[in-house]
């Protein structure tokens, strides 16, 4: 079995001695024929829950922590599998859980937390989308409980990887108006920020000190567009000298992002990496992911 899959154990049932017995998540063994990391991940994506008893509500009661840890491990596997298989795996899991209201509520609520919470290290909108799609079509949820997924789903479907980024109209500190569609570069890194934001300052420093970013800016293979989506234009103007001169600094003068919801910013700062056609490569990734991708562009293997 691949080494990056861990299984937690926690107290669950009670044995004959009156002491709690350990309830252990039933591990599925990966057949030896699956040798690559992706093949192993895709097998587990589809079969991880094969031996789990979805009718036993103790798994979401006294042994809830065991089940939650198993889910965390399961979600940790998914980045190694193809997206199509991941969607099928999530549907398969939720189909099984949907046979029991308590079980289904546990799984969709935990997946919501880990995949959508800005503070979660597993946050991933692309994985959250098939969860929302299942919730919308579930027979276990009434119309009231479907309001949230029905509201969020169309928002997350905006500016997905592989689609062209929605245009951004902005004003520079000089007063000149411009737009994202006019940018000409092999890659564009869009940074949504707030001038009164410590995390934004940390990110700005990381980007500014990145050797890969510095080199790509020098070679004119990368452009950085910093966008302030707030309403305090005077505060933005005063803070504009804080933005590196190599970046393009813009203010959303018509407040399209907030007013029209052209970009859904669950947290600030938020990054988007685009290609020369302004197609989204990465949506809201950690900067380390962006840096790794650009390193591969600048220093291709082989």
Same domain, 115 and 240: no
Same domain, 198 and 147: no
Residue 162, in any domain of the structure: no
Residue 10 has pLDDT above 60, yes or no: no
pLDDT band at 21 (very low <50, low <70, confident <90, very high): low
Assigned domain for 40 exists:
yes
The answer on 208 and 75 residing in a single domain is no
pLDDT bin (cut points 50, 70, 90) of residue 155 is confident
Residue 77 lies in a domain: yes
Which tens digit of pLDDT belongs to each residue from 204-246? Answer: 999 999 999 999 999 999 999 999 999 999 999 999 999 999 9
> Residues 128, 181: one domain?
no
Claim to verify: residue 107 and residue 223 sit in the same structural domain: no
Q: Please give the share of the chain, as a percent, with pLDDT higher than 70.
A: 93
pLDDT band, residue 118 (cuts 50/70/90): confident
**Across 31-47, average pLDDT:** 96
- Please give the residue range of the domain that contains residue 89: 9-156
Instruction: Tell me whether residue 218 is in a domain.
Output: yes
Q: Please compute the mean of the pLDDT values over residues 179-190 and round it to a whole number.
A: 96
pLDDT at 168: 97
Query: Taking a C-beta distance cutoff of 8 angstroms, is the pair 282, 273 a contact?
Result: yes
User: Do 13 and 152 belong to one domain?
Assistant: yes
* pLDDT bucket at 16, cuts 50 / 70 / 90: very low
Burial class (CB in 10 A: 0-12, 13-18, 19+), 111: buried
What's the rounded Cα separation, in Å, for the pair 65 and 302? 45
Tokens of 16: 């004959």
Same domain, 136 and 192: no
Distance CA 26, CA 56 (A): 13
Q: Which residue has the tokens 């309001």?
A: 147
What is the tens place of the pLDDT at every residue in 267-302? Answer: 899 999 999 999 999 999 889 989 999 999 988 875
Q: How many domains does the chain have?
A: 2
Q: What pLDDT, on the 0 to 100 scale, is given for residue 18?
A: 45
Query: Is there a domain that residue 22 lies in?
Result: yes
Q: Is the pTM of this model over 0.85?
A: no
**CA-CA-CA-CA torsion for 29, 35, 38, 40, nearest 10 degrees?**
0
Residue 264's pLDDT band (cuts 50, 70, 90): confident
Report pLDDT digits (tens) over 71-88.
Answer: 999 999 998 999 999 999
Structure tokens at 257: 């992002």
Q: Has residue 15 got a pLDDT over 50?
A: no
Claim to verify: residue 129 and residue 225 sit in the same structural domain: no
């Amino acid at each position: 079995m691949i080494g990056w899959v861990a299984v937690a154990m926690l107290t669950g049932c009670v044995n004959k001695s009156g002491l709690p017995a350990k309830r252990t998540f039933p591990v599925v063994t990966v057949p030896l024929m699956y040798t690559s990391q992706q093949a192993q991940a895709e097998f587990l994506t589809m079969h991880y829950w094969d031996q789990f008893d979805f009718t036993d509500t103790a798994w979401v009661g006294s042994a809830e922590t065991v089940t939650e840890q198993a889910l965390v491990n399961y979600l940790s596997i998914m980045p190694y599998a193809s997206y199509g298989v991941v969607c099928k795996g999530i549907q398969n899991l939720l189909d099984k859980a949907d046979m029991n209201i308590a079980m289904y509520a546990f799984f969709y609520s935990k997946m919501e937390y880990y995949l959508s919470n800005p503070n979660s290290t597993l946050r991933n909108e692309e994985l959250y989308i098939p969860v929302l799609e299942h919730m919308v079509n579930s027979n276990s949820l009434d119309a009231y409980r479907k309001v949230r997924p029905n509201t969020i789903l169309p928002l997350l479907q905006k500016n997905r990887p592989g689609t062209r980024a929605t245009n951004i109209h902005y004003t520079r500190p000089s007063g000149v108006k411009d737009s994202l569609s006019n940018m000409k570069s092999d890659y564009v890194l869009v940074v949504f920020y707030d001038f009164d934001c410590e995390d934004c300052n940390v990110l700005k420093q990381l980007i500014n000190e990145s050797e890969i970013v510095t080199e790509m800016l020098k070679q004119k293979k990368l452009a950085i567009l910093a966008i302030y989506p707030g309403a305090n234009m005077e505060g933005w103007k005063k803070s504009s000298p804080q933005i590196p001169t190599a970046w393009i600094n813009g203010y959303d003068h018509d407040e399209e992002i907030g007013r029209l919801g052209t970009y859904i910013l669950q947290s600030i700062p938020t990054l988007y990496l685009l290609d020369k056609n302004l197609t989204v490569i990465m949506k809201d990734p950690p900067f380390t992911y962006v840096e790794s991708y650009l390193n591969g562009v600048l220093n291709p293997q082989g």
